[in-house]
Amino acid sequence: MLWGGRFSKDIDKFFLDFSSSIQFDINLLKYDLMVSRAHAKMLGQSGNITKDESREIVNGLDLIEAQFVAGNWNPLEDNQEDIHSAVENYLTKLIGDVAGKLHTARSRNDQVATGFRLWVKDSSRQLIDKIVELQKAFIDLSEQHVETIIPGYTHLQRAQPVSLAFHLLAYVEMFERDKTRLLNVIRDADVCPLGSGALAGTTLNIDREYTAKELGFSKVSSNALDSISDRDFVIDFLNACSVGMMHLSRLCEELILWSSSEWSFIQMDDSVTTGSSLMPQKKNPDAAELIRGKYGRVQGNYIAVSSMMKSLPLSYNRDMQEDKEPAFDSFTTFHNSLHLTKMMFNNISINVDRFKDELEGDYIFATDLADYLVSKGIPFRKAHQIVGEAVSYAISQNKKLNELSVTEFQQFDQVFDNSVYGCFDVSTSLDRKKSFGSPNPALLRQQIQKLKSKFS
């Protein structure tokens, strides 16, 4: 133990097991070694230890990493309470008492906070890379389906016709916001707390700017007490993962609906579906269902850490050990879910003509019909009333809108003439859209080209 001098009795084995975090903070090994190397170099540069001692410590840390990668050292076998203790104890075995000088002007508090910030920055970048891969897949698929008509929904009721490309590009926009959240996480985590000590800095002459630069941080923290207490960057990371998983969950819900017999719009590949142990005909969208289900655990991780932090007095409290396992879990879950979502779309089969005939003349064109009346000088509110009455009449007659005669339309207003039937043509419905951001095919193709250039 790194703190044993004050105590006359060994820690209870049950308590040690209960309090140990090495099973999960082993994920920080790479970053702990980076922090220790930078700190050792700074101690040598600032004269707190000799340059020879600094080099010996750095070489020892390099050897630890090499032995870990080669499988010649397993920290989990060392019966240590955390990865930081395991590294320092193993370093002592390798290079002797000089290893004890590594902890000069440093607490585990600022050591852990620094390593964790490095992990959050690195993990956020990895998630951004995965999001970009998924965006590219969606953009490529969108290019093939600019004129594949599908119903757009509000309240899960058919609302207006759109295209599959338009629908997919909505998710590209969502994913872009996910990237922005992660970029904000990187920015806020890009502050180096190393040198803050336990909570109040150190009396020794150290160079915090040196270690910050060595570790790739853009600046050092300005208040040691806050530096040790701050876990906002973790909560922001967990929130970014949670919102990203929520977006994937919404997408997966739609895939599940679209793959049902009632929709019959897509077929998911055999590689990402399962069958039934009882019903031979079943093909279940399990990949989508699992992603949808895993949103709950990622949201739970965010709630767990924000709840854990809400009543903690400054500065460090052992409760804060509970910040890492949720972060590691959320990263892995979100990262793997992004990868699996891309897999689902790599080999998806789409029934391109599924809605083409079904939507011809459908009530889904009611808004187009109202716009038609507006173009003839009728105020929109009046046009809305007229079309509502026409739709109600068509339903009572068991007819589609394009099956009503001009005479029937003229029951509601004399302005109707034969030109009304142009409102119900599925093949031209999207071309009639004029506003930027609509599913107009020409506008969508321009948007797709801009996105392709952006991600090339």
Q: The tokens of 183 are what?
A: 């970029």
Query: d(Cα 118, Cα 428) in Å, to the nearest integer?
Result: 53
Strand, coil or helix: 276: coil
What DSSP designation does 270 have?
A: G
Query: 354 phi and psi, to 5 degrees?
Result: -55, -45
Query: d(Cα 373, Cα 375) in Å, to the nearest integer?
Result: 5
Q: Give catalytic residue positions.
A: 155, 276
Please write down the long-range contacts of 1-6, taking CB distance under 8 Å and 24 or more positions apart. 1/81, 1/85, 2/84, 2/85, 2/88, 2/103, 2/108
Query: 412 phi and psi, to 5 degrees?
Result: -100, -30
Q: The tokens of 43 are what?
A: 């101690």
Q: Among 439, 409, 445, which Cα is nearest to 426's?
A: 439
- Report the interhelical angle of 164-189 vs 441-455 (nearest 10°): 30
CA angle 428, 433, 438 (to 5 degrees): 120
Beta-carbon-side half-sphere exposure of residue 260 (alpha carbons within 13 Å): 8
Listed in sequence order, the residues at least 6 apart from 59 whose beta carbon sits closer than 8 Å to its beta carbon are 95
Strand, coil or helix: 172: helix
Query: d(Cα 336, Cα 338) in Å, to the nearest integer?
Result: 5
